[in-house]
Structure 1
Amino acid sequence: MDRALNNAPQATLFQQALGAAFYNLPEAVRRLHAVRGTARFAGVAAVERGRNPLARLCARIAGLPKPMRDVPLTVEFVADSKRETWRRDFGGTRMQTRLAFRGGLLRERLGPLQFRYHLHPGFDALWWQVAGVRAFGLLPLPAGWFDGVRCREREHDGRYEFLVEASLPLIGLVVRYEGWLLPVDDAER
């Protein structure tokens, strides 16, 4: 009996973060966040960047993609019960983040920043809300600076859709990217 319990699959980060609410998410969102091991998704994205010189500097430091429209996007997810790595490829421009779940918050490392998020699930979408940010893992930054950072995940026409937008006070838009993804097996059909 104990052996059977030890062999049971462990909950993914998003299953841990959301508990029972995970199973009420739209199917495409659940499928993406149920990945264990390695999986590839493919789709199309559009990226807009702010024109303010400080916005461009922030985007460069964070390793965000340059502006582009209708660009092929692939994302490789490498996941276990403790962490996930997301390797995005926006038509040859790569961006990687690492995620973990600790202290009731989803944590995402992007360049020198570590974002901490509250997740808000609904029947039609999953929203990420910034709860805190640290630079270099040590220096806490005022959470209010990041009120303009949003992420929405939903399902549309059977596909996983995302919208990520980051605006900062006095700087304005840093980046906005959106698009859709399907598991590679489905996207190739």
Structure 2
Amino acid sequence: MTGSPSPLHLSTAAEPTLFQQLLGAPFFNLPPSLRGLHSIRGLDTWAGEVAIERGAGLLARICARLVGMPPAMSQAPLRIQFSADTKSETWSRQFGSHRMATRLRCRKGLLVERLGPLQFRFAVHAANGSIYWNVARVRLLGLLPLPATLFGGVHCREWEQDGRYHFDVQAALPLAGPVIGYHGWLEPAGPNAG
């Protein structure tokens, strides 16, 4: 036998998920439903209910259509299939019969999500048992920077209520006014649930 054996590198810890990377230690103080949704590795499906309001103005309707937002609906079924690894997550949403998928990833400490021709970069933080998404940067077609102040009315809050994951997403723009607002809840439905 020549030389010394190579040391074994064993790791029992899983690589952190996207939101664990973004939030760091505060992630582990979040309520169970938020930790559960943002700890998904591989494939999983969550289901629940959503209410969606759309802006009435012409410019608001054009903006919502441009980024593929769902139509207005009340107490509609919502299913999201998550496909997650340590680098990114794909959220395949089904609002009633309307489908919308986006890919999320982390870049320089910000959450990146593309909606139609717009690439949003959100500052994500946890406080008082909730997760908040606030726009930090926006790019058109991933290249042309747009003033983030134009998108100050775009934000999201996630929290737990009655043991369920809840969310509220709002998008309003200067001149267009409210573009879309949707809120609802989700709970685990399993990767192969009907």
TM-score grouping bracket, smaller chain normalisation: over 0.9
Runs (4+) of structure 1 moved beyond 3 Å?
none
1:101 equivalent in alignment to 2:119: no
Amino acid in structure 1 at the alignment position of 2:102: T
**The one of 104, 115, 118 aligned to 2:120:** 115
- Between the aligned residues of both structures, percent identity stands at 54
Residue in 1 that maps onto 2:162:
157
Residue in 1 that maps onto 2:19:
14
1:3 is displaced (CA, Å) by: 3.7
Matched position secondary structure for 1:65:
coil
Q: Which moves more between the two structures, 22-31 or 78-87?
A: 22-31
Residue in 2 that maps onto 1:84:
89
1:82 is displaced (CA, Å) by: 0.3
Residue in 1 that maps onto 2:48:
43
Contact 1:26 1:123 in 2 (8 A): no
Q: How far apart, in 1, do the equivalents of 2:119 and 2:73 lie?
A: 25
1:2 is displaced (CA, Å) by: 4.1
Superposed CA offset, 1:38-92 (max 9, x none):
1100000000000110110110010000000000000000000000000000111
1:64 equivalent in alignment to 2:72: no
Aligned CA distance change for structure 1 residues 2 and 47 (closer, same or farther; 3 Å): farther
1:8 is displaced (CA, Å) by: 3.7
1:149 is displaced (CA, Å) by: 0.5
Aligned CA distance change for structure 1 residues 17 and 158 (closer, same or farther; 3 Å): same
1:113 is displaced (CA, Å) by: 1.0
Please show how residues 119-134 of structure 1 align to structure 2 within 5 Å.
119-134=124-139
Matched position secondary structure for 2:28:
helix
Matched position secondary structure for 1:177:
strand
Where in structure 1 are there 5+ consecutive unaligned residues? Answer: none
Contact 1:39 1:77 in 2 (8 A): yes
Amino acid in structure 1 at the alignment position of 2:180: V
Residue in 1 that maps onto 2:186:
181
Where in structure 2 are there 5+ consecutive unaligned residues? Answer: 1-6
1:169 is displaced (CA, Å) by: 0.7
Amino acid in structure 2 at the alignment position of 1:67: A
- Number of paired residues? 185
Q: How far apart, in 1, do the equivalents of 2:106 and 2:91 lie?
A: 15
Superposed CA offset, 1:99-127 (max 9, x none):
00010111111111111011120132111
Q: How far apart, in 2, do the equivalents of 1:97 and 1:74 lie?
A: 14
Residue in 1 that maps onto 2:147:
142
Contact 1:118 1:128 in 2 (8 A): yes
